[in-house]
């Protein structure tokens, strides 16, 4: 990485180059509203779940927009994470690159504007067959239930976008790659191309288990990518489902992390690292041969506004330190910091500057 001399007075390394961090995923516009339990029951939603919209959810999107105080935020799990990473990094702009598919419509324009405001170098594949994807964030107290209508996000095409020379050059510029498991439902061949590039060039490829349904229904593409995964993220629920699907026969989170770490791996120069967050409980991570627990920052229950985006924010903070080649402890500290900021606000939004030392 192109570092200048560390600044001795602060001990900080400066000057990351543009496009060092690459993300690819489903760009969605989040539509968040506070709803009641009746609303969840009506549409058969569970607390703190993430699902893909089906035919019977169509009315949900119409109804949630009628709710009082609807907020629109640029979302999509991977896009949230790279945006938070860029926010944590601040300067230079465009350290983070993002690829995904949107529609040629008003929501698509909002996503482009929001990416620009966040100083992310977003290169969207734009098509007019499907509208820009949306995600209904149904908030009840400090829980959230997400229903994603992928629409355009589902139309990402490797040969129409990723394979283009100008775009692949941006992929090659990166040192760290991050793709949420959600994108496995869209373009596993795009993920594999990026993952193999990282592995063959000894760069860092990171992936997220993202939601229980990924391990349950997209296990095959997930396990095809797994040998290339250097850092695997997930939360306690996703970890438990993953363990069940793989027949780990344990529900001990530390043991699941260890078993996931030891799954077959292509690039043996890097030992896989597994990082599982557990809400307010300790984050569990494999550090070398050991599994270590890292307590999260204390927060008063009353200060929690919206846990939507906490996991994405944790990854974003983590990646911001990872691209600076900092130690795992430091990456987790940055992840805990950014998650702590995000849960005090609605949506995956943040103040102008981080206050992270």
> Is there a domain that residue 127 lies in?
yes
- Average pLDDT for 168-184: 98
> Is there a domain that residue 201 lies in?
yes
Whether 312 is a known active-site residue: answer yes
Domain around 125: 21-27+75-132+150-343
Predicted confidence (pLDDT) per residue in 258-271, tens digit: 999 999 999 999 99
Distance of CA 195 to the CA centre of its chain: 16
> Is there a domain that residue 349 lies in?
no
DSSP string, 78-132: HHHHHHHHHHHH-SSTT-EEEEEEEESSHHHHHHHHHHHHTT-EEEEEEESSSPP
Q: In what order do the strands lie in the sheet with 21-24?
A: 121-127, 96-103, 21-24, 176-180, 204-208, 231-235, 273-278, 281-287, 290-294
Work out the pLDDT band at 6, boundaries 50, 70, 90. Answer: very low
Predicted confidence (pLDDT) per residue in 39-68, tens digit: 999 999 998 888 999 999 989 988 998 876
Range of lowest pLDDT (160-169, 325-334, 337-346): 337-346
Three-class DSSP labels, 147-180: EEECHHHHHCCHHHHHCCHHHHHHHHHCCEEEEE
Give the pair of three-digit tokens for residue 133.
């994807």
> Is there a domain that residue 357 lies in?
no
> Is there a domain that residue 61 lies in?
no
Say how far apart CA 336 and CA 48 lie, in whole Å.
19
Count up the domains in the chain and report the number: 1
Predicted confidence (pLDDT) per residue in 125-174, tens digit: 999 999 999 999 998 877 889 999 999 999 999 999 999 999 999 999 99
**Active-site annotation holder among 121, 230, 306, 312:** 312
Say how far apart CA 335 and CA 258 lie, in whole Å.
21
> Is there a domain that residue 350 lies in?
no
- What are all long-range contacts of 253-262, with beta carbons under 8 Å and residues at least 24 apart? 253/278, 253/284, 254/284, 254/291, 254/293, 255/291, 257/284, 257/285, 257/286, 257/291, 258/286, 258/291, 260/232, 261/286
> Is there a domain that residue 354 lies in?
no
> Is there a domain that residue 267 lies in?
yes
pLDDT of the residue at 32: 87
CATH code of the domain containing 269: 3.40.1190.20
* Bridge-based pairing state of the strands 204-208 and 28-34: unpaired
Say how far apart CA 277 and CA 222 lie, in whole Å.
20
């Amino acid at each position: 990485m192109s570092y200048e001399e560390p600044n001795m007075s602060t001990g900080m390394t400066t000057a990351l180059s543009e496009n060092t961090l690459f993300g690819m995923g489903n760009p969605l516009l989040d539509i968040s509203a506070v709803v009641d339990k009746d609303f969840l029951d009506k549409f058969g939603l569970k607390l703190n779940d993430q699902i893909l919209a089906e035919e019977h959810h169509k009315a949900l999107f119409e109804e949630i927009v009628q709710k009082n105080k609807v907020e629109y935020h640029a979302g999509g799990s991977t896009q949230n994470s790279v945006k938070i990473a860029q926010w944590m990094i601040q300067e230079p702009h465009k350290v983070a690159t993002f690829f995904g598919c949107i529609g040629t419509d008003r929501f698509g324009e909002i996503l482009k504007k929001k990416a620009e405001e966040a100083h992310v170098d977003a290169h969207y594949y734009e098509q007019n067959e499907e509208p820009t994807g949306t995600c209904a964030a149904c908030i009840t107290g400090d829980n959230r239930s997400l229903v994603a209508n992928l629409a355009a996000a589902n139309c990402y095409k490797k040969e129409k976008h990723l394979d283009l020379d100008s775009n692949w050059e941006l992929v090659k510029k990166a040192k760290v790659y991050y793709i949420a498991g959600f994108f496995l439902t869209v373009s596993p061949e795009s993920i594999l191309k990026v993952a193999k590039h990282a592995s063959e060039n000894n760069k860092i490829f990171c992936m997220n288990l993202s939601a229980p349904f990924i391990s349950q229904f997209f296990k095959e593409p997930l396990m095809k990518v797994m040998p290339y995964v250097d850092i695997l993220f997930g939360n306690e629920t996703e970890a438990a489902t993953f363990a069940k699907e793989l027949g780990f026969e344990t529900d001990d989170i530390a043991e699941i992390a260890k078993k996931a770490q030891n799954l077959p791996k292509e690039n043996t120069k890097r030992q896989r690292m597994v990082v599982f967050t557990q809400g307010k409980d300790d984050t569990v991570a494999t550090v070398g041969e050991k599994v270590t627990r890292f307590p999260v920052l204390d927060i008063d229950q009353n200060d929690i506004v919206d846990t939507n985006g906490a996991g994405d924010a944790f990854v974003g903070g983590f990646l911001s330190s990872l691209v600076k080649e900092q130690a795992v402890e430091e990456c987790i500290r940055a992840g805990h910091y950014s998650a702590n900021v995000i849960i005090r606000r609605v949506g995956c939004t943040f103040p102008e500057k981080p206050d992270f030392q």
